[in-house]
Amino acid sequence: MAIRRRTIITGLASLLGAGLLAGCSVVGPIPFGSSIPSPAAESAKTPGVSALTPGTLLGEKVGISAGSAIIAEPDPAQRGKQLQAIADTGARWFGMDIDWSAIQGGGPNSYGWDATDQVVKDARARGLKIMGMIGYTPPWARPASCPADTNKCLPASPETYAAFAQAAARRYGSASVIPELRGSIEFWQVWNEPNHYPFVQTVDAGGYTRMLKRAYVSIKAVDNTATVIAGGTSPAPNDPSGRDMSPVQFLRRIYASGGKGFFDAFAHHPYSFPCNPLVHAEWNAFTQTQYLHNVMVQNGDGAKKIWGTEAGAPTGADVGTCTPNNTGMSVTEATQAQYVSDYFQGWFGEYGSFTGPLIWFQIRDNGTNPMYWDDHFGLLHRDYTPKPAYRMFTHLVRG
């Protein structure tokens, strides 16, 4: 299976004149505004030592993803090594794909759970709580408009997705008839980045809401203790072509389409690199979390949490800076470590009254080419040697 997670989204990238990058692709630019920080202001946001107090019960609040490749990992030792590296940090959450296209690729009555079962069992054996993202449509359930070379289209019918979501909740939820899987997954995210074209081709907030509503009812029917999470939004800007919609507008459209009451939490991906997440600016994906909460308050959902189901920053040779003329996307390894601290400090500090868990993407680099920043989100290098960010993460969680 191909690496799923290719999403690096920062509003700054488009401000820098290269377009907002996500999914290894460029989406429409955001006009320059007066809120872009100067280099001095940016550096002032990244002190050498964070004020965050280590060991403040962060383990129950933070997690790490291993990326989609772990599902197809043929070597049990390699799979276990990644999961153990996550557990060793003290993080208690693990984000993983529940890939509909892989599990039910053979048709509506065909299920291939084995690879997913193994990752679930291995994660639970290490005490990790799983957030499962249900996504990606198999060929038989795709609309005719879906390109032949992708599974990243919303299904032709929300009923087919809801049926699969129910099957997954029945298999891994609190009422599972399989003892070794029972209670393994009780937190479900409905799709990945439904506001962003690499994962839906054309954004359809109404269609997504119909799918969300049916999935919510179907999951709760077999596990009424489950938590259903909407969104998982990319911090993409509005695109007149319809390929992208801002997270705030997308959430408003969910409410306008009758989505209220059909999710227990909302998820966002607050990527900010190469800028620091603590820089307050309208284009900063981290700042967007506050705007999303404001929309939820306006719709009577202020008590519901916003989960950060992906956050991170890539390292590599293509180092960028938070300036208008920058084109680089990577950060230094020292900066990545600082961002771990700053993400925690902002997410659980300033935004702590309305945020849920924060899941770092990801545990290990996908490759070794230093110029290919998209392969360097890991807290570990490809050879498993730790980056400073891994040590920072562990220090803050374990104290």
Write out pLDDT tens, residues 239-279: 988 899 999 999 999 999 999 999 999 999 999 999 999 98
- Tokens 């509909």 — which residue? 100
Please report the sign of the dihedral spanned by the C-alpha atoms of residue 30, residue 311, residue 206, residue 106: positive
Write out pLDDT tens, residues 54-75: 766 799 999 999 999 999 999 9
Write out pLDDT tens, residues 156-192: 999 999 999 999 999 999 999 999 999 999 999 999 9
Nearest to 231 by CA among 201, 270, 175: 270
In sequence order, which residues have a C-beta less than 8 Å from that of residue 381 and are 6 or more positions away? 364, 365, 368, 387
Domains and CATH numbers, the chain: 11-39+59-398 (3.20.20.80)
- Tokens 């700042």 — which residue? 287
Per-residue pLDDT for 46 more than 60?
no
Report the Cα 10 to chain-centroid distance in Å: 13
Residue 50 contacts residue 342 (beta carbons within 8 Å): yes
- Is residue 8 very low, low, confident or very high in pLDDT (cuts 50, 70, 90)? very low
Assign 3-class secondary structure to 56-103. CCHHHCEEEECCCHHHHCCCHHHHHHHHHHHHHCCCCEEEEEEEHHHH
CA dist., res. 47 & res. 273, Å (int): 16
Write out pLDDT tens, residues 70-94: 999 999 999 999 999 999 999 999 9
SS3 161: helix
User: Higher confidence at residue 11 or residue 195?
Assistant: 195
Question: CA-CA-CA-CA torsion for 221, 304, 250, 108, nearest 10 degrees?
Answer: -20
